[in-house]
Amino acid sequence: MQHVSLAALLQNTRNYNQMPIFLQQMLKRSVWITLFTESALLLLFVVVPTESFIFRVTEGGFFLIGADVINSILEFGYRALPYLALINLVNMFVTLLVISISLGMLLPVRIRFHYLAVANAIPTGASMLSMAFVVFLLVLAFAINLIIWFFIISIVLGIIGALLGGG
């Protein structure tokens, strides 16, 4: 039996734990979340019919104000969709690469793959944030119109109530 000294053993070992444990755990979660987010976004992009992307609103119906702003936001989203989809597609490839190399996060990997995973999470996070911002603006425009309608209905009901009470 050949005996190896601890010093020799250490010289021949690779240090994979160059990152704090809690960061590693966060990174693992981030990779899985990125994968699921990308898959869901791409599935939505593929499944939703093209006609839905060109949906526009007109003033005069529910939307009393801000139809132009809403249409501009929708148009911006429509123009940005191909870029977002392709970025997500590339990201999904990188994510799957990281997961394959680490065998589903079961095996330790070199530090460069940790950096790759971090870099990979950034565009997905950015696209999610931008989409969330666009949705927020749309919801805001919807809410403003809803409030206006609420005031209009309140005033009309108030006038009717005053007329009936006065009569």
Partner 1 sequence: MILHSGPPAYQRWLALILIAIGWFLFANLAGATVDRVREFPGWSNFLVFSLENSDSTYLNERSEVVQFSSRQSSPTATAQIVRSIISTDTEAPSRRSSGTTPTSVFNQEIFWPPICGQSGESHFNQIGQRGEITRNIRIRTSPSNTSGTEIISGMSFVIIGPSRCAIPNGYSAEMLFLNVRLVGVSNNRTGWIPESGIGSSGTIVYNVYPSR
Which residue ranges make up the site for partner 1 (CB under 8 A)?
A: 35, 39, 42-43, 45-46, 50-51, 54, 75, 78, 81-82, 85-86, 89, 92-93, 96, 99-100, 103-104, 106-107
Q: Smallest distance from the beta carbon of 150 to partner 1, in angstroms?
A: 26
- Please list, residue by residue across 34-68, b when 16 or more beta carbons sit within 10 angstroms of its beta carbon and e when fewer do: bbebbeebbeeeeeeeeeeeeeebeeeeebeebbe
Q: How far apart are CA 99 and CA 48, in angstroms?
A: 28
Q: Smallest distance from the beta carbon of 42 to partner 1, in angstroms?
A: 5
Q: Which of residues 20 and 61 has its CB atom nearest to partner 1 in the complex?
A: 61
Q: Which of residues 85 and 138 has its CB atom nearest to partner 1 in the complex?
A: 85
Q: Which of residues 82 and 158 has its CB atom nearest to partner 1 in the complex?
A: 82
Q: Is 92:39 a contact under the CB 8 Å cutoff?
A: yes
Q: Smallest distance from the beta carbon of 146 to partner 1, in angstroms?
A: 22
Q: Which of residues 58 and 154 has its CB atom nearest to partner 1 in the complex?
A: 58
Q: Is 33:92 a contact under the CB 8 Å cutoff?
A: no
Residues in the chain: 167
SS (H, E, C) 6-22: HHHHHHCCCCCCCCCHH
Q: Smallest distance from the beta carbon of 131 to partner 1, in angstroms?
A: 16
